[in-house]
Structure 1
Amino acid sequence: MDEEGASGMTDIRALAPEEMAQAICGSDAVFRDAEQTSMGIAFSSVFSAALSQSLGAFEDGKLVSFMGLVPATLRIGAAHVPIFSIGSVFTGPDDRGRGHAGRLLQAAKSHVRASGGALILVSGTRSLYLRNQCHSYGEITRFTIGPVQGEELLGSHAGIAVRELSRTDWLSLHALAASRHVAYAQTVRELAELIACEAYASCFKLRHRTLVATEDGRVAAFAVLAMPDERGSEQEPFAIEWAGKAGALAALFGHAVVAYGLPRLDVPVAWNETELLQALSGVPSAKDRNLGTVHIADAERLFESLSPYWHAAAASDAPRIRTLAHHRYALAAPNGGTFELDAETLVSLMFDPKPTQPAAFEARAAMPGLFPVPLPYVGGLNFV
């Protein structure tokens, strides 16, 4: 894709392997300081020459703007949803305000559709995304565990022992991660490498500490926590990713606060993690949205991929959808009713526990048990 820029032709395209160094250098200049790990290490999938998904705007061979793009699969019950994540987006200081990021976003959407993607998860919420059919979505509960709550959680879940990760734990950790109802698909190796990369934690000058909770000698839960190191980050510690029994997780979080002398530990729990929400119900909390925004890249493909989830969750036929002009959709309920929705309303219908758009209430009432569709909290190991 070529467009005329202020200094000649602007070439919008995927980066060649030998151009990734330019992207890492530019990303480090925008997002990192001397105390932080290079973006090329923390977000290795963004700059992967093997994947070769990320896009750039080039002028005279120079990278002037960049958009990281990473494919993945979400497991939602019995469904496997093909998605892409967008992040590490930057434009050089001398090239801002010329529409490069907007053109990269349109190119990314086209690439996602051509690649078989259904959803795009975007780490940002700025106007670039909001005016291009990327919308806030979902709900999480942010629990703030202090020393008092930490002691209470430990006392309420006797019989749970907590220790740090051992070399012999990887298969157990992967089995727990794979048993989650909603999660990114990960191999054993990917899980280990994502923990080592410390992507989201590194944004706040925090480091990963992985804890394992055992019950009767067996691994019952694990959690990856973002914790301060000698750099003395002022960011509060927070939970990155976890899996396992809710009671074991509650004890693990309590142990972390008490054992490491943390003033607070932030644990963001998605609305669909009902057992963990109950286990932490005595802890101070506040409601929040999921991180970033979501864009429905291909509605028909999304509904097709979700069909196994709907069949298992509601024991009924899946709804059908048809994309109309001007970012509108015709949604057909299994009972025969039809609803015309805009993009924001469709996102709210699908992913919000309580729809924020009034038009979504009528559609949801006509399709009990089908909505909302759970998505994972995206500030975890797969954050882009």
Structure 2
Amino acid sequence: MIEGPMGAKPEELDELCELVGKVFNWQMRENFPTLFCNDNTDNLRIIKEDGKIVSHFGFVIRDMIINGCRISVGNVGAVCTDENYRKKGYAWKILDQAIEKYRADGVDMFLVSGSRSLYIQHGCTHVGKVKNYAIYRGMPIPSAKVKAIKYTVDDLPVWSALYRNEPIRFHRPYNDFLVLTTSGLVYRPDSRLFSISDGNKIVAYVVGSCDNNKKSFGLHEYAGSRKAIIASIPQWFEELNVDRCVVPVNLYDIEFNQIFHSLGIEPDYGTTGGTIVIINFPQMCERLLPLFEEKIGSHIANVLTFSERDGNYVIGLDGDEAIISDPHDLARIIFGDPPILEAPTKIPAEGKLLDVIKAIFPIPRPEYGLSYI
């Protein structure tokens, strides 16, 4: 007998974690405490066969905050099927049902920690660019009286305040922050969490890890003073015995990019983490309207229309329409092309409508950081 797709029950959490841990050969509950917890079991979408859980899709629903606008995002991870029950289309069925369910629940898009064919065929795609700056031991770095100290839970109120001041981020409840920085292993067992102090107060924080060769330290999340972060890099070289530090920087982070430019450091371009699919285009654009107003003015923004028609995505203005048929193109138009794309995504519009679309898109999106699942 087949049951589901459906949400797991709290009493099934141990069984589910056993399945996921077996497939991934990892302690999933400990590494992803916001995913595998009693408060989130209905978002652990499963199929059961013969009375046992055999397939799973995990979701954590949180808002993404982009320059003050909130869009609802389903972070997707820990997707697996028992090896004895594969090739039955169970994962496909769960994802189909999840798109329908979460669209009805008000979710705008999925952010998936993967890019296999199952996701691509459901519209997921890589989007956006990030600048990766590499700083090597011995490079001249502006000094400042700062010190990187190991994170303790007493630092969390300041970390939370620093993160809240970031213009592009996830909505992260304090209880999420607490478990992600304490009971969770922050998805990398060799993670390093540093508070950066100017001697009087914490002015920044970083989360990072060393590569497999222990020669490079890469940042996964940071917040606060960019100057303080830069000034603390020589300390990481010594304490971690590494020769290189890699700092990913959002294209829209003017201060950080300018600091690296002034140091003569040129970036390599990478893609933002994960793949995305937009599951409710009109609703998402409605939630982004305040940002559009700031970009093009309220008179134009308020007469723009965003709709879905016959499986297409439609942007309208003054009787003209841009009709986008491919969900991959839609995501890339909204969040920008990834560097791996051979040719830029074409916007199917001309004249004033084309100018307006280019003015409102692309928009930034935060990196996973601690919110990775």
The answer, yes or no, to whether TM exceeds 0.5 is yes
* Counterpart pick for 2:242 among 262, 270, 274: 262
Matches of 2:275 and 2:11 in 1, distance apart? 31
Matches of 1:85 and 1:193 in 2, distance apart? 17
Kept after mapping to 1: 8 A contact 2:109/2:280: yes
- 1:357 and 2:345 are equivalent in the alignment: yes
Q: Give the deviation of 1:10 after TM superposition.
A: 4.8
* Counterpart pick for 1:140 among 130, 133, 148: 130
Percent sequence identity is 21
Matches of 1:238 and 1:197 in 2, distance apart? 22
Q: Deviations over 1:36-86 (max 9, x none)?
A: xx1011112222222221101110111111110110011111211111111
Q: Deviations over 1:318-364 (max 9, x none)?
A: 542111223x111124x664200122221111101688312368565
Question: Which stretch shifts more, 278-287 or 78-87?
Answer: 278-287
1:22 is paired with a residue of what secondary structure? helix
- 1:212 and 2:198 are equivalent in the alignment: no
Q: Return the letter of the residue paired with 2:310.
A: A
**RMSD (Å), alpha carbons:** 2.5
Matches of 2:349 and 2:223 in 1, distance apart? 32
Matches of 2:50 and 2:147 in 1, distance apart? 60
Matches of 1:360 and 1:148 in 2, distance apart? 49
2:370 is paired with a residue of what secondary structure? coil
Kept after mapping to 2: 8 A contact 1:182/1:374: yes
Q: Which residue does 1:382 correspond to in 2?
A: 371
Q: Deviations over 1:205-226 (max 9, x none)?
A: 423x222223462322111122
Q: Give the deviation of 1:284 after TM superposition.
A: 5.7
* Matching of residues 301-320 of structure 1 within 5 Å: 301-316=283-298, 317=301, 319-320=304-305
Q: Return the letter of the residue paired with 2:145.
A: G
Structure 1 gaps of 5+ residues are 1-7
Describe the shift of the 1:185–1:50 C-alpha distance in structure 2 as closer, same or farther (beyond 3 A).
Answer: same
Kept after mapping to 2: 8 A contact 1:199/1:383: no
Q: Deviations over 1:7-51 (max 9, x none)?
A: x43532111111111221111112235xxxx10111122222222
1:321 is paired with a residue of what secondary structure? strand
- 1:181 and 2:181 are equivalent in the alignment: no
Matches of 2:10 and 2:156 in 1, distance apart? 31
- 1:292 and 2:282 are equivalent in the alignment: no
* Counterpart pick for 1:246 among 201, 226, 229: 226
Describe the shift of the 1:325–1:236 C-alpha distance in structure 2 as closer, same or farther (beyond 3 A).
Answer: farther
* Matching of residues 1-384 of structure 1 within 5 Å: 8-33=1-26, 38-52=27-41, 53-149=43-139, 152-153=140-141, 156-198=142-184, 201-202=187-188, 205-207=189-191, 209-215=192-198, 217-227=200-210, 236-281=216-261, 282-283=264-265, 285-316=267-298, 317=301, 319-326=304-311, 328-333=312-317, 337-342=320-325, 343-352=327-336, 356-359=344-347, 365-378=355-368, 380-384=369-373
Q: Return the letter of the residue paired with 2:201.
A: R
Describe the shift of the 1:31–1:234 C-alpha distance in structure 2 as closer, same or farther (beyond 3 A).
Answer: farther
Describe the shift of the 1:160–1:369 C-alpha distance in structure 2 as closer, same or farther (beyond 3 A).
Answer: farther
Q: Return the letter of the residue paired with 2:332.
A: S
Matches of 1:361 and 1:270 in 2, distance apart? 28
Q: Deviations over 1:230-281 (max 9, x none)?
A: xx87695421211112211222344322332123333222222232222234
Kept after mapping to 2: 8 A contact 1:69/1:108: no
Q: Give the deviation of 1:298 after TM superposition.
A: 0.6
> Normalization by structure 1: what TM-score?
0.85
2:246 is paired with a residue of what secondary structure? strand
Matches of 2:333 and 2:203 in 1, distance apart? 35
Kept after mapping to 2: 8 A contact 1:211/1:252: no
Runs of 4+ with >4 A deviation? 197-200, 232-236, 360-364
Q: Give the deviation of 1:179 after TM superposition.
A: 0.5
Kept after mapping to 2: 8 A contact 1:206/1:233: no
Describe the shift of the 1:252–1:198 C-alpha distance in structure 2 as closer, same or farther (beyond 3 A).
Answer: farther
Kept after mapping to 2: 8 A contact 1:125/1:292: yes
1:137 is paired with a residue of what secondary structure? coil
Kept after mapping to 1: 8 A contact 2:133/2:268: yes
> Normalization by structure 2: what TM-score?
0.88
Describe the shift of the 1:200–1:103 C-alpha distance in structure 2 as closer, same or farther (beyond 3 A).
Answer: farther
Q: Return the letter of the residue paired with 2:161.
A: A
Kept after mapping to 2: 8 A contact 1:212/1:252: no
Describe the shift of the 1:158–1:219 C-alpha distance in structure 2 as closer, same or farther (beyond 3 A).
Answer: same
2:203 is paired with a residue of what secondary structure? strand
Matches of 1:251 and 1:356 in 2, distance apart? 37
